[in-house]
Amino acid sequence: MAAACALSRKTAAAPQMEAGLGRRRKSSDGGSPPSPGCSSNGQCWEHEEVERPLYRQRLSPREEERLENEHFWKIINAFNYYGTNIHERVNRTEKQFISLPANQQKLLPQFLSHLEKIRKCIDHNQQILQAIVNDCMHMFENKEYADDGNTIMPASTFDMDKLKSTIKQFIRDWSEDGKAERDSCYQPIINEVKKYFPKEKCDVSKINVLVPGAGLGRLAWEIANQGYSCQGNEWSLFMLFSSNFVLNRCSQVNSFKLYPWIHQFSNNRRSADQIRPIHFPDVNPHDLLSGVNLSMTAGDFQEIYTERSMWDCIATCFFIDTAHNVVDYIDTIWKILKPGGIWINLGPLLYHFENLANEISIELSYEDIKNVVLQYGFCFEEEKESVLTTYTVNDLSMMKYYYECVFFVVRKPE
């Protein structure tokens, strides 16, 4: 069984808001592949957060440190405020129901008892979220966030939406309920990694695979569990707090549960659907193959990964549309891939900054992206323009969103 390891922070950091958290200073090692033996299990984290000068004027180190701490505690506060926020939502529903005429209330004798069940689910979720943040003070090896004694304050709607989305990520990455989604999104990527770097023809432990936008870490974990040296990269503290908990603190299968659908008050066929739990993790994250090298970095993909020709393979899943300018991502991938290296991509083009004020957002069609990829010099090995999949879907909901994703494999020429 692999042992847990902490995260390390190499530079001070200061994101202003979660939407812009992916803009950070590069690490001192240029985002190098994980070195064998860097830790007992390879689950090492390097934390770096600072805004890029393109979007915010560079501040003094002291000011950056202050903003970093401020942001850290803002996300902690969102976790702590969760229960209060969702209880307020349920209380509004109860007040509205009680305002109905008595004869109409009698038609729905189970309505208030259902709300009580939701309240119990909220309290349980809050306990899990509290366990996650309790470990955050010490999640970075060279950075401590001592308790500043702040009281819980109302969190923004934006932060609460991010937190509710993060709760649903536990389904996608670490529950049996998310297996179908992982099979459609992650398995095609894993298959291509194995196809282009077969165990029969190479020492897979020396094949360096990078997974930007790693989320809660399951894709990176699965690739590492095939024997490859894999590094995941993530910028969101919501994701980082949660993935740290799963990868480093969960050691028994399905030992925890969450109620991810209690926030959905519409499109429920049955009341019970809203309060059904999911259990996680569906595998023991510590049960990696012996000698496996898995690591994680925290920070901006473009800022951390600057060293040329370092990676044999880059796997992007639901990632390239997180860019302010997707051409920047393509440029970075071209530079850091080794000659002959492979880039595997699967995902839609739901540009994250499209409707955010004061944010740069260049929205390209897939046709334009493909032309840019070709002009950089990549050679297409495989391409599918319609891979049907979902993202944290509620299987029992009366409304579902489906993506027709683009899937391609390109090679950087020797």
**What pLDDT score was predicted for residue 375?**
98
Q: Which residues contact 328 (CB under 8 A, 6 or more apart)?
A: 302
Going by C-alpha positions, the residue among 312, 290, 316, 291 that lies closest to residue 302 is 316
Q: Are 45 and 7 in contact (CB under 8 A)?
A: yes
165-412: CATH topology? Rossmann fold (3.40.50)
Q: Which amino acid is at 255?
A: S
pLDDT in tens, the chain (414 residues): 444 433 434 332 323 223 233 323 333 344 556 543 333 333 344 333 333 334 445 678 888 788 888 889 999 999 999 999 999 999 999 999 999 999 999 999 999 999 999 999 999 999 999 999 998 877 765 566 656 667 899 999 999 999 999 999 999 999 999 999 999 999 999 999 999 999 999 999 999 999 999 999 999 999 999 999 999 999 999 999 999 999 999 999 999 999 999 999 999 999 999 999 999 999 999 999 888 999 999 889 999 999 999 999 999 999 999 999 999 999 999 999 999 999 999 999 999 999 999 999 999 999 999 999 999 999 999 999 999 999 999 999 999 999 999 999 999 999
CB atoms within 10 A of CB 316: 22
Q: DSSP string covering 319-365, please?
A: -GGG-SBHHHHHHHHHHHEEEEEEEEEEE----TTTT-TT---B---
Q: What SS3 state is found at 119? A: helix
Strand partners, 115: none
Which stretches within 217-311 are classed as H helix? 218-225, 237-249, 271-274, 301-304
**What pLDDT score was predicted for residue 36?**
39
**What pLDDT score was predicted for residue 413?**
98
Q: Which amino acid is at 105?
A: Q
- For the chain, the residue count is 414
- The H or E element that residue 296 is part of is strand 294-298
CA torsion 60→61→66→72, rounded to 10°?
Answer: 130
**What pLDDT score was predicted for residue 139?**
78
How far apart, in whole angstroms, are the C-alpha atoms of residue 369 and residue 240? Answer: 29
**What pLDDT score was predicted for residue 137?**
75
Q: Are 214 and 232 in contact (CB under 8 A)?
A: yes
Q: DSSP string covering 1-30, please?
A: -PPP--EEE-S----SSGGGTT--PPPTT-
Radius of gyration in angstroms for the set of CA atoms belonging to the chain, rounded to a whole number = 22
* φ and ψ of 155, to 5 deg: -90, 160
Going by C-alpha positions, the residue among 324, 353, 345, 351 that lies closest to residue 407 is 345
Q: What SS3 state is found at 46? A: strand
**What pLDDT score was predicted for residue 57?**
57
**What pLDDT score was predicted for residue 33?**
60
**What pLDDT score was predicted for residue 17?**
29
Q: Are 151 and 250 in contact (CB under 8 A)?
A: no
Which stretches within 144-274 are classed as H helix? 157-174, 179-185, 187-196, 218-225, 237-249, 271-274
**What pLDDT score was predicted for residue 60?**
84
Q: Are 20 and 352 in contact (CB under 8 A)?
A: no
**What pLDDT score was predicted for residue 32?**
55
- CA distances to 83, 89, 91, 326, 360 from 70, rounded to whole Å, are 22, 27, 31, 29, 24
Q: Which residues contact 105 (CB under 8 A, 6 or more apart)?
A: 97, 98, 111
- CA distances to 1, 10, 355 from 49, rounded to whole Å, are 31, 9, 24
**Is this structure's pTM higher than 0.85?**
yes
- CA distances to 20, 93, 108, 211, 333 from 111, rounded to whole Å, are 41, 10, 6, 45, 53
